[in-house]
Structure 1
Amino acid sequence: LVWVLLLVFYLLLFGEIFEMYNLKVASDRYLTLRGTFITVVFVTLFYVFTPILSPELPQNRIQIGYFVITLITSIIINRFIYIQFIFSPRFLKNILIIADTKQVEKIISINQNKGTNRIIAYVSNKTLESPNLLVYEAFETVNLEQTVKDNYINEIIVSSSSLQFITNTLNTQLIELFEKGMMIRSIDSYIEEVTNRISESQLKQDFYNYFSFSKSHQNNLYLAFRRGFDIFFSLIGIIFFLLLIPFVLIGNVIGNRGKLFYFQKRVGKKGKLFNILKFRTMISNAEENGVEWSKKGDKRITTFGRVLRKTRLDEVPQFLNVLKGEMSLIGPRPERPEFVRMLEAEIPFYAIRHVIKPGLTGWAQVMHPYASTVEDQHKKLMYDLYYIKERNILLDFKIVIKTISTILFFRGT
């Protein structure tokens, strides 16, 4: 039984790291096969060489080959059957939207490439301008029960801002459907579940009606665990950092002439400034024209610096910041004070992200590419606030797994 549990644990762990369970990957047979093979290789290595808990190595080594073939075959069959079922129309969730056309278009855009949801119909003040195959019903004349029945609707999502369209008659129909067991929820709730970030419409004057801190924010046991977790892994990270220095030094001599490290002011918890430590990845006079964001294909990044960024190795010295308590392993990435001042002026509630320690990695980092514009920063803020609202041990573990995937698949900047 212990052997089976260990095998299942490794399959789940490495399957998540190598994105075998990612729906976007599941729709691509090549990526599914790639994920399966890499997962099986790592599962086999860890399973075979785990002391005590795993079975003894077989005397006939060909049995390991049989084990690998059995794993690959069974996983591939499992994944292809799963793909066939999950993308089958009978297993899709049919959705009806009740909102103005602007919000309907936003939900349609967000819902693209979301394998398990299918928008079938909408109730609005007018038809959409863009061509589509959706069923349209007017607010004034809609018979919700009939529309739900005719279109096999499983869920209704309702605008929480365009309340002028929710007439007493429409509201009565919603209540009747709710009493019959129909799933009904707000658009904000739907966006949060589908995108794993908070809805922008929640950030307004009465934001406290929608946004609150996670219960973990005041959970002393969780906070103590997180600090212990930070200390333990930062010590391991510092050892790795010391071992890495000679190799980075050689790389610097070849393709990154100049200082090995650089310090930079960043904004931490409650707006407190601290010096962040990184391996230098840009030319020495990178900011002779003033402070600016790094962008894709930035010519200021050196040849070796690009390697450090792709592998995230330039961030390794920040384990020292984590050990000092200025940062945590997981949290919103710390920004420079010059950018923070600008973003606070441009984006309402940007300062909320400073209520917790900044992190070496974070939910925004693993869910959104590098931000080089105010618009990108706005999107990343939605992820940061989602983390602050929902953070817990399971979400932290998910971020760690996704960070490993990001590093292994070279998704750094």
Structure 2
Amino acid sequence: MKMKRALDLVLVLCGAIVWVPVLTVAALAVLIGTGRPVLYRSMRRIDDGQVVRIVKFRTMVKNAEKLVNRDVVPVENQVRFLNIPADSPLYTSVGRLLERCGITELPQFVHVIRGQMSIIGNRPLPENVMRCLREEYADADDRFLTKAGLTGPAQLVGRDVLTDAERLRLEGAYCRACIQGYSVRLDLAILLATVGIVIGIKKGLDYQGVLDLIERHSRRRRTVEIRRAERALPATVDAAEVAGQ
């Protein structure tokens, strides 16, 4: 999707005046507050066939990944996504602040620049979480029909609010909407809503509200394509008539 890639690059470059200073201050806060390493690296699936070592700010104690992961934590209440509660003692004080401000994923702009991820898309996941999801949901891999992103439809509701089935349905719906006819307006709507929610000027959407958002922009895209086809039809007909004379 060349248009989606172009939007990513435009947003990254134009937004650098904001995200570069924020990233720098956040990195210093982690370094001063909790020491090294500043970044947390983890192997994550980012599309339907690629697993890479992604980076994010370290927001937890240094051995957190050994204490809490889907291989050692049993599935409870049918929740197969591994959602660590915001009040978990594993979070450092600086890390909890970064999470609250939505800054944790900023280092992943490097993956966006490389073309490995998109700004808007479903979050990368560890392979052990994906294996766990596949045990219950045959279509779990549909969430990777498009590249993973820094924020996506599930983040407009909140991962802790959604059931696994609801989250997978939202994520699959977004990917299918992009494949059937990519909409710049949909990605911008998700991005603006995310920013509004993070800075507290917009309330989070509910599950149905996000589904409606995806469908609304998908329908608008289809309408635009139909109108373009209708406008092109007379020219095609005229050309055919001329050719036949």
- Provide TM-score, normalisation by structure 2: 0.68
Aligned CA distance change for structure 1 residues 260 and 395 (closer, same or farther; 3 Å): same
Aligned twin of 1:408: 199
Unaligned 5+ runs, structure 1: 1-222
2:29 to 251, 260, 265: 251
AA aligned opposite 2:29: G
TM superposition shift of 1:308: 0.6
AA matched with 1:232: V
Distance 2:94 2:16 in 1: 21
* Residue 160 of structure 1: aligned partner: none
Contact kept in structure 2, 1:238 and 1:317, CA below 8 Å: no
Alignment partners' CA distance in 2, 1:343 and 1:334: 14
Name the aligned partner's letter for residue 154 of structure 2.
A
Give the match for residue 103 of structure 2.
313
Which residue pairs with 1:298 in the alignment? Answer: 88
The one of 61, 66, 77 aligned to 1:288: 66
Larger radius of gyration, structure 1 or 2? 1
Partner residue in 2 for 1:342 = 132
CA distance in structure 2 between the partners assigned to 1:253 and 1:227 by the alignment: 33
2:158 maps to 1:369: yes
1:355 maps to what in 2?
A: 145
Report what 1:225 is aligned to: 3
Which sits farther off after the overlay, 378-387 or 241-250?
A: 241-250
Aligned to 2:211: none
Q: Per-residue CA shift, 1:271-316, capped at 9, x if unaligned? A: 3101211111011011233514322311101101011111111111
Structure 1 pair 405–385 and aligned structure 2 pair: CA distance change class (3 A): same
Q: Residues 255 and 225 from structure 1, CA distance in 2 versus in 1: closer, same or farther, beyond 3 angstroms?
A: same
> For 1:276 and 1:237, how far apart are their aligned partners in 2?
21
Letter of the aligned partner of 1:269 in structure 2?
D
What CA deviation, in whole Å up to 9, does each residue of 1:32-91 have, x standing for no partner? xxxxxxxxxxxxxxxxxxxxxxxxxxxxxxxxxxxxxxxxxxxxxxxxxxxxxxxxxxxx
Q: CA deviation at 1:365?
A: 1.4
Q: What secondary structure does 1:287 align onto?
A: helix
- What aligned pairs does 1:87-126 form with structure 2 within 5 A after superposition? none
- State the partner residue of 2:45: 267
| SS in structure 1 of the partner of residue 60 of structure 2 | coil
> Is contact 1:266–1:276 with CA below 8 Å preserved after alignment?
yes
CA distance in 1, matches of 2:31, 2:47: 36
Matched residues in 1 for 2:151 and 2:68: separation? 27
Whole-angstrom distance in 1 between the partners of 2:112 and 2:164: 23
Tell me if structure 1 keeps the 8 A contact 2:7–2:184: no
Partner secondary structure for residue 340 of structure 1: helix
| Contact kept in structure 2, 1:256 and 1:281, CA below 8 Å | no
Is 1:329 matched with 2:119?
yes
Q: What is the CA-CA distance between 1:236 and the residue it aligns to? A: 4.0
- Tell me: higher relative CO, structure 1 or 2? Use CA pairs within 8 A at least 6 residues apart: 2
Percent of aligned positions with the same letter in both sequences? 28
Contact 1:330 1:358 in 2 (8 A): yes
Identify the residue that residue 207 of structure 2 maps to in structure 1.
none
Structure 1 length-normalised TM: 0.42
**Post-superposition shift, 1:327?**
0.5
Q: Report the count of equivalent residues.
A: 187
Partner of 1:26 in structure 2? none
Distance 2:195 2:23 in 1: 21
SS at 1:276 equivalent: strand
Residue 397 and residue 237 in structure 1: after superposition, are their counterparts in 2 closer, same or farther (change >3 A)?
closer
> Unaligned regions of 5+ residues in structure 2, if any?
71-81, 205-245
- Tell me, in whole angstroms, the C-alpha distance in 2 between the residues paired with 1:262 and 1:238: 22
* CA-to-aligned-CA distance 1:137-163 (integer Å, 9 cap, x gap): xxxxxxxxxxxxxxxxxxxxxxxxxxx
